Structure 1
């Protein structure tokens, strides 16, 4: 279980997170939803121990994020962090050297499914193919927590479908927690178990996705429009 207790984080005069208290339950796929600048990336970086709160506390199974907790977390950032000179094989070997939970069999299966070749050079492949490589590196581990920051942003529809299929096929229900930060809610509508809506660094709505749909008699896409366009929550 991941807990934020009264967490505030500022960058200069801007509050990325404003006294947030929220729980991300274990063993579910959770949609972390909101427009750009709402605090989604900051949230994921805190879980990954890349940022620390100014006030409040973040807990992962009762422990503060650290090098120790990072070992159980696979983090896919929105930025294109891959070295351009690397091949897919180089990227695999680079990541494998850092994590004991690397699963070679899973890596080979995912490479085939995503239509990636070991000799592909990062700087010579498309943005969609680079997104696949990042996904490959995240899901080739047997991580208990997977953090995906805008994995569908700027990606063509066919690649999006492959990314979603990869998430579904790899997911171990009840054993693994996946948090997907996105504003592309229509793409993951049927994928998420729980949702957390962020706006201006605040949690404005959260809960079980199916329960929210039934209570409001609307889809998550419609609910999101109501929350952000009309303040109807």
Structure 2
């Protein structure tokens, strides 16, 4: 799948949360979507997933305008909790199975088992780290061509972040694309191969991570500091 955004804009009255974004996402890559709060990362993800309507611009998938059929191949996981507190983990599986035809329930159960989470656990009893694992397991158990994870490492400890990073890499479907937004730039160094930096709703820079290391002798964190040092 190749997704192309041209002149993509989202306005809220006089403010542009996303401003004339031109971006191409291609299969087989893991992208870091980076920037400080208010830079437009979450809004861009919500536009791609269909949760927010664009104000201007176009989005195409493999050369065709993005429609509801193509959005069936896009999985979005927000940073906010979105499961009901009365649910068990098994109810989360049933919920995804009902709504998404590409959801693999057996795969989901294998993933949570590897992370020592029981299907009988109540959502309200889960720690923030365990809840993050369930959310990402549900996202990765879909056979989506584009996976959008918004701040998946928020509020969880270092060891849990390591587990999640390994799961994300291990469960990527061949030919699919993954976009991860995060403030924890260093955590993405070993995961991503492309970095997209957003600033004031625009794309400030996009680079190949390996090329950045070789040609400029810089990490993603170095580039982040360079772009946002005055923010």
Q: Scaled by the length of structure 2, what TM-score is found?
A: 0.95
Q: CA deviation at 1:230?
A: 4.9
Q: Distance in 2 between matches of 1:5 and 1:186?
A: 30
Q: CA deviation at 1:22?
A: 1.5
Moved more, 197-206 or 14-23: 14-23
Question: Which residue in 2 is equivalent to 1:77?
Answer: 78
Question: Which residue in 2 is equivalent to 1:205?
Answer: 205
The answer as to whether partners of 1:49 and 1:65 remain within 8 angstroms in 2 is: no
Q: Distance in 2 between matches of 1:127 and 1:91?
A: 16
The answer as to whether partners of 2:143 and 2:173 remain within 8 angstroms in 1 is: no
User: Aligned with 1:36: secondary structure?
Assistant: coil
Q: CA deviation at 1:65?
A: 3.5
What is the count of residue pairs matched by the alignment? 230
Q: Scaled by the length of structure 1, what TM-score is found?
A: 0.94
Give 1:103-114 correspondences, 5 Å limit.
103-114=104-115
Question: Which residue in 1 is equivalent to 2:103?
Answer: 102
Q: CA deviation at 1:99?
A: 1.5
The answer as to whether partners of 1:46 and 1:58 remain within 8 angstroms in 2 is: no
The answer as to whether partners of 1:194 and 1:206 remain within 8 angstroms in 2 is: yes
Query: Which runs of 5 or more structure 1 residues have no equivalent in the other structure?
Result: none
Q: Distance in 1 between matches of 2:67 and 2:75?
A: 14
Q: CA deviation at 1:106?
A: 1.4
Query: Which runs of 5 or more structure 2 residues have no equivalent in the other structure?
Result: none
Q: Distance in 2 between matches of 1:144 and 1:25?
A: 10
Aligned alpha-carbon RMSD (Å) = 1.4
Question: Which residue in 2 is equivalent to 1:229?
Answer: 229
Q: Distance in 2 between matches of 1:8 and 1:100?
A: 30
Q: Distance in 2 between matches of 1:137 and 1:22?
A: 27
